[in-house]
Amino acid sequence: MREDHADPHVAANNAGIQSMRLRYGVNETDSWWHFALGPERKRIWQLHREMRIQIIRIFLFDKNAPDPLNEWDLFRSYVNAVLAVGATPMVTYAKFRRPFDDDRAVRWFAEQCGEIVWHCLEEWGEERVRDWHWCVWNEPNSDWIGGGLSFEQYQDIYESVAHSILRWLKPCLGSRRAPIGGPAVEGFQPFWKDWIWRFVTEVDADLIGFVNWHRYADWRDHGEKGAPLDAATHEAVMLWQARDYEVRARSVARLVRQPGVLNVCGEWNAHSHYLPRVRARFNQTLFGAAYGASALLHLVRGGVDAEMLWTGTDDACGYGVLGPDAAPTPLYFARRLCAQYIQYGDAIVTPALDDGVAGLDGVVVRSSNGRSSAVLVHREQTATTYDVSEITRGELSDSCALIKIDCETGNAVTTGPCDGTITFAGYGVAVATNAVVGHDVSSQVE
């Protein structure tokens, strides 16, 4: 993750061009064993690398994660899997199950967190561990997930844990900002942004390295708790909400006043229903691929420093882009296309598409090596054909390659020459480009 804090929206002296600054990531949580120790783990790591995953958020004291103080061998495997991907760990101290306002409980928790940092320094060395990120708590503003803390309770826990971490980490940081952050707020709750504002204004600024926030489009099934009964209407409402990632990213950026504090969307997906079979219908389908790609485009436009999808590997939980057998979902392919053709430092052309194009989201991307691409998301169930040159305002000619996933391609991407048009058979994600990235974009994962 980058350390400087240049203008998050428009590159200097180049009006209409935004510099891509996003680092791609995932959460590895409930199904961590399959990711770290399962029989298909090496294939899973390879697929993460193909998604260009740079940050992986792992959990402690929650999500059935190994206890590093009593199960160090398992925790070592958990971290080593992250490093095998080539990613940076974001270690999340999720919670403790003692009274939150008990000073002794807070001190006990903080000492445990600090001891884990010390063990990590001993195991992996200062050169590696100083670049890791440490997140304190998970969704403290949610009764269901994080215990429903008051901000005052959370602040006491945060500052106690941060000081305990820095006791061991500070000597190897030099002039770097402490890579500690929170509050990992749950975005469905009212006044979620108040938590961000209080976090950056009331917590000791020297203890904050990043701000973490979460966002889902919905948690209700069709017709549940006032949601639209009609599936098409409900999905259209959810897809419309993808733009909120950009709005929230920019609003959080305005609250972050200290230079070098990173803006992180630490958890997101289309749906968070309490039943896996329901949320899987939204997250692990072509609808989820279209929603996810659109969300990524808005996170890029919003100038966030990192995003972490919930989740990477998944054993029947209804969230993940990969199964325990490394089988990919449509969202895997959509994320891979975005990561391959929207890379760190690329120039994002704004405005991207012709204003009159309905049902389509997209960006035009220029890379320093001469590659020009249009990453496109079709957000409607109806089949539609688009003229490439027209929708990209002439940025791409007819002589380009087309890479696409939709209901006609199945759970795979197809690659071929573009005849000047792109046809989507319902929800889909496509890239039109003058240079194909990698050798694997045209094949289904075996």
- Cα separation, 48 vs 339, in Å, equals 11
Residue 120: predicted pLDDT: 97
Task: Kindly report which listed range (10-24, 253-267, 312-326) carries the lowest average pLDDT score.
Answer: 10-24
Assess whether 43 and 74 both reside in one domain.
Answer: yes
* Average pLDDT rounded to a whole number, residues 423-442: 80
- Total domain count for the chain? 2
CB 45 within 8 A of CB 85: yes
- The answer as to whether 444 is a domain residue is no
- The answer as to whether 237 is a domain residue is yes
- The answer as to whether 66 is a domain residue is yes
Assess whether 285 and 414 both reside in one domain.
Answer: no
- Residue 13 confidence (pLDDT) above 80: no
Which residue in 361, 369, 414, 413 sits closest to 386, CA to CA? 361
Confidence of residue 410 (pLDDT cuts 50, 70, 90): confident
For 217-263, what is each residue's pLDDT tens digit?
999 999 999 999 999 999 999 999 999 999 999 999 999 978 889 99
- The answer as to whether 70 is a domain residue is yes
Assess whether 376 and 427 both reside in one domain.
Answer: yes
- The answer as to whether 116 is a domain residue is yes
- Residue 14 confidence (pLDDT) above 80: no
- The answer as to whether 439 is a domain residue is no
Task: Kindly report which listed range (49-53, 71-75, 420-424) carries the lowest average pLDDT score.
Answer: 420-424
Full residue range of the structural domain in which residue 100 is found: 23-341
- Cα separation, 379 vs 358, in Å, equals 9
Q: Average pLDDT over the chain, rounded to whole?
A: 90
Assess whether 211 and 358 both reside in one domain.
Answer: no
Looking at per-residue confidence, does 93 or 1 come out higher?
93
For 338-368, what is each residue's pLDDT tens digit?
999 999 999 998 766 666 677 899 999 999 9
Q: Which of 341, 359, 374 is the last residue of a domain?
A: 341
Residue 93: predicted pLDDT: 96
Assess whether 139 and 249 both reside in one domain.
Answer: yes
- Residue 5 confidence (pLDDT) above 60: no
Residue 352: predicted pLDDT: 63
**What are 284's two structure tokens?**
């692990």
CB 194 within 8 A of CB 140: no
For 32-68, what is each residue's pLDDT tens digit?
999 999 999 999 999 999 999 999 999 999 888 999 9
Q: What is the 3-state secondary structure (H, E, C) of 141-165?
A: CCCCCCCCCCHHHHHHHHHHHHHHH
Assess whether 173 and 309 both reside in one domain.
Answer: yes
CATH number at residue 67: 3.20.20.80
Which residue in 324, 330, 328, 446 sits closest to 35, CA to CA? 324
Looking at per-residue confidence, does 298 or 10 come out higher?
298
Which residue in 1, 13, 4, 8 sits closest to 254, CA to CA? 8
Assess whether 273 and 375 both reside in one domain.
Answer: no
Q: Which of 309, 341, 373 is the last residue of a domain?
A: 341
Phi, psi of 81 (to 5 degrees): -65, -40
Query: With pLDDT > 70 as the criterion, what percentage of the chain qualifies?
Result: 93
Geometric angle at alpha carbon 336, from 332 and 342, rounded to 5°: 145
Residue 394: predicted pLDDT: 73
Confidence of residue 291 (pLDDT cuts 50, 70, 90): very high
Tell me the torsion sign for CA atoms 158, 163, 164, 169.
positive
CATH number at residue 421: 2.60.40.1180
Residue 343: CA count within 13 A, CB half-sphere:
13
Assess whether 335 and 398 both reside in one domain.
Answer: no
- Residue 4 confidence (pLDDT) above 70: no
Confidence of residue 398 (pLDDT cuts 50, 70, 90): low
Assess whether 210 and 182 both reside in one domain.
Answer: yes
201, amino acid identity: T
Residue 411: predicted pLDDT: 84
For 141-196, what is each residue's pLDDT tens digit?
988 888 889 999 999 999 999 999 999 999 999 889 999 999 999 999 888 999 99
Residue 354: predicted pLDDT: 62
Task: Kindly report which listed range (145-149, 281-285, 286-290) carries the lowest average pLDDT score.
Answer: 145-149
Assess whether 328 and 369 both reside in one domain.
Answer: no
- Give bridge partners of residue 401 from the DSSP assignment: 417, 433
Residue 437: predicted pLDDT: 86
Assess whether 388 and 332 both reside in one domain.
Answer: no
Looking at per-residue confidence, does 389 or 111 come out higher?
111
- The answer as to whether 12 is a domain residue is no
* Average pLDDT rounded to a whole number, residues 415-441: 84
For 200-217, what is each residue's pLDDT tens digit?
999 999 999 999 999 999
As a whole number of Å, the end-to-end CA separation of the chain is 32
- The answer as to whether 255 is a domain residue is yes
Q: Which of 315, 341, 367 is the last residue of a domain?
A: 341
- Whole-model pTM: value is 0.91
Assess whether 209 and 241 both reside in one domain.
Answer: yes
44, amino acid identity: I
